[in-house]
Amino acid sequence: MTAPTLDPCGCGDRATGQATDDALLPIGPFTALQYHFGMLLGVDDLDTAQAYPRGKIRLHNAWLHREGVVWGLDVRFNERRELTVTPGLALDAAGRELHLDATACVDLGKWYAKHADDPDFLFEDMPNGRKRFAVHVVARFRACPARPVPAIADPCAGAETDTAYSRVTESVELLLRPGIAVPKDPGYHRLRVLFALEPDSAQYAEVQARRELILGQPLGNQPAAYLAAFREFAALDEIDLGPQRDADGVATSLVPEDPTEVVLADVEGIIVRLGVDGWAVSDPLPVPNVRVRPSHVATATIQELLCGPLYALGTPGSPPPAPPPPPDTGPRIDPASVRITGRRKIVLRTNRALDRESVRPSQFSITAYTKSDGWHTLDIANAFPDAAGTLVTIDLKESMTTGSTIRLIARGTGPTPLLGEDLAPLAGSLTDPPASANDGHDFVLMLRRG
């Protein structure tokens, strides 16, 4: 996915045998050229002189900034229904600057025709021969030799001449990858747990306990306690980091990831139809989701943003105002309402009415465990709501054994969740976190058959 202006040096496809980026722009951050009077300089010396500062800046970018878009690189459809990427600048995880100086575009119909048979490309068949699929847009670094000049072909002859490139142009290669982007591991998990930026886990139970200890202190003591914890856990997180390694654990790079791609956008719900001129994009045009990309914020802006919460705190020492509760979405099941009646029946109640057509046996899973036989699945004969839509009865095809442990799952996720009357998916239990209008939570409960 490139525009003609992105390949000014004509280096073509990498698969044709062109030199690699590292061969064109080598890095050597730990070896500097030592000059002396009368020193004879060769190509290797000049490469070393350039590789030293280039390697330093790449190490700095890769480890201290990581990947992210700096400015621009918007992804959208133009008036010709082509997917475009506007000019911009980004850093990749290998510390390279990705600079796009002209808008690039691609015809998604032609792209589909070219890649429809790729083994990793999945699409959905729709009525009238249409196809629906998703892609994500990525940018990766590209270096091309440029400006050919006469050069001595044989250093021993001194008379014969040839042509060699005298410049290397840094550019960007834009690609479409099938499906939506998979988030990368951001690292620094202890610090993220410390500040409640990712869920607690048994692996970092020490961090969770430390955070709870800090929150139990007087508010005025918490900043110093957080600082001490930050320093300790940052040291442990940084020990876990390291350069990219191969399957044998051998370091293959000086940076976390190389080669690397920067995600610019997810584009879901693309529909193409075959016409007289080939495959073309159909309505409705999807809106590219650029919010999935990593981004860099200028340090001057970060300095000012750090002052923002001070205005919300009011009186020094007073706690920050509680955030507004997130809006509730789909119906929820009251765990206290779930009960076993008889040997083949389970009933449950929701806090909101369910859409009747969404209540089917396939929306539930019931399994039983006994110490003699282990786990086995109980087949469901029927599942239906009452007239109010809040009391659900589940009839089983076989009896539940006395003394067995019963595990009930009501689905709020997956392709066929239970739905409320407003078609919002089941949000799980009354105590589960808020769910979205697009994806809910499964309700899970274990009962004992008396």
Q: Which domains does the chain have, with CATH numbers?
A: 4-182+258-292 (no CATH), 189-240 (no CATH), 335-448 (2.60.40.1220)
What pLDDT is stored for residue 150 in this prediction?
Answer: 86
- Please answer whether residues 152 and 158 qualify as being in contact, where contact means their C-beta atoms are separated by less than 8 angstroms: yes
- pLDDT band at 165; cut points 50, 70, 90: confident
Rounded CA-CA distance 235/241 in Å is 10
Which DSSP state fits 324? Answer: P
Cβ contacts of 343 within 8 Å, gap of 6 or more: 399, 400
- pLDDT band at 327; cut points 50, 70, 90: low
Phi, psi of 434, deg, nearest 5: -60, 145
What percentage of the chain carries pLDDT values higher than 70?
88
Stretch 402-408: mean pLDDT, rounded? Answer: 92
Beta-bridge partner residues of 287 = none
What percentage of the chain carries pLDDT values higher than 90?
65
Rounded CA-CA distance 52/58 in Å is 10
More confident of the two residues 22 and 220: 220
What pLDDT is stored for residue 164 in this prediction?
Answer: 85
What pLDDT is stored for residue 433 in this prediction?
Answer: 87
Examine the pLDDT at 2 and tell me if it is beyond 50. no
Stretch 312-316: mean pLDDT, rounded? Answer: 45
- pLDDT band at 449; cut points 50, 70, 90: confident
What pLDDT is stored for residue 8 in this prediction?
Answer: 31
- pLDDT band at 381; cut points 50, 70, 90: very high
Examine the pLDDT at 159 and tell me if it is beyond 70. no
Question: Looking at 4-8, 114-118, 444-448, which range is the least confident one?
Answer: 4-8
What pLDDT is stored for residue 156 in this prediction?
Answer: 58
Stretch 34-39: mean pLDDT, rounded? Answer: 92
Beta-bridge partner residues of 77 = 83
- Please answer whether residues 448 and 431 qualify as being in contact, where contact means their C-beta atoms are separated by less than 8 angstroms: no
Examine the pLDDT at 32 and tell me if it is beyond 50. yes
- pLDDT band at 437; cut points 50, 70, 90: confident
Stretch 268-291: mean pLDDT, rounded? Answer: 93
Q: Closest Cα to residue 92, out of 60, 64, 69, 71?
A: 69
Tell me how far the alpha carbon of residue 38 is from its chain's centroid.
55
